[in-house]
Amino acid sequence: MSLYLHVLPAGPIETNAYLLTDTARGEAVLIDAPGEVWRDVKPILEREACVLKELWLTHGHWDHMQGVAEVVAATGAQVSAHADDKILLETPLPGTIRLAPVKVARWVKQGDRVTALGLEWEIRHVPGHCPGSVLFWCAAQGLAFSGDAIFRRSVGRTDFPNCGFPQLEKSIRTQIYTLPAETILYPGHGGPTTVAEERAENPHVRG
């Protein structure tokens, strides 16, 4: 097996980036790019002799995209995201946090299937925390990168514009709890969990 998962919490609020490397193919995919994540990604790519081909964004919140420009400039990785976060990604609000607009190469949507690292991935739209929240599910590996929709025993905030708990609850029930029970969920913050565990134990959305 030549597939490796590197968990890289980075940025001011410990946002998880996930770097998947396939050392046999010499290719890598990064899921989310918190600020300064490149500092952690670069040495791994060098050590494992992998080229970063793609950068997948689970949603357009600043703490998941602050590092995109630096990663793309260094690697030329193609960025994928959901079009419902187009405004957040392309015209970030001016504020105290320095954010460069993100250039998205591929807009993904519910039910899309993409191939990366020789694996098939299904994209599921999980709005409620952010309009363009998506998860990337690989059935063959039994894992999904689920962003800020659900956390271990918790769920994402829903007090953002065009978001809300009813919508998030629907996303979790129809798009996350319908994944195979043993699927490992890698969230945007905190440690991993499984679909079965959250269905049984999540205090906000019981399966």
For Zn ion, the binding residues (CB under 5 A) are 61, 148
By beta-carbon proximity to Zn ion, the closer residue of 50 and 186 is 186
Q: At what angle do helices 38-48 and 68-75 cross, to 10 degrees?
A: 30
Provide, rounded to whole angstroms, the least separation between the CB of residue 131 and Zn ion: 11
Least distance CB 157 / Zn ion (angstroms): 7
**Angle at 162 (CA atoms; ends 189, 12), nearest 5 degrees:** 30
Q: Report the candidate in 44, 47, 49 with the shortest Cα–Cα distance to residue 18.
A: 44
Nearer Cβ to Zn ion (48/169) = 169
Nearer to Zn ion, 53 or 129 (CB): 129
The distance of closest approach from Cβ of residue 176 to Zn ion in the complex, given in angstroms and rounded to an integer, is 16
Rounded distance, CA 166 to CA 170, Å? 6
Structure tokens that stand for 119 in this block: 């694996």
Instruction: Round to whole Å and give the CA distance between 65 and 62.
Output: 5
Q: In degrees, to the nearest 5, what angle opens at C-alpha 14 toward C-alphas 13 and 18?
A: 140
**Least distance in Å: CB of 130 to Zn ion?**
6
**Residue 157 φ then ψ, to 5°:** -60, 150
Residue showing the smallest CB distance to Zn ion in the complex: 61
Smallest distance, Zn ion to C-beta of residue 31, A: 13
**Measured from the CB atom, is 21 or 66 closer to Zn ion?**
66
CB closer to Zn ion out of 50 and 130: 130
Q: How far is the CB of 150 from Zn ion (least distance, A)?
A: 12
Quick check: 145 and 123 in contact, CB under 8 A?
no
The distance of Cα 145 from the centroid of its chain, to the nearest Å, equals 5
Nearer to Zn ion, 70 or 148 (CB): 148
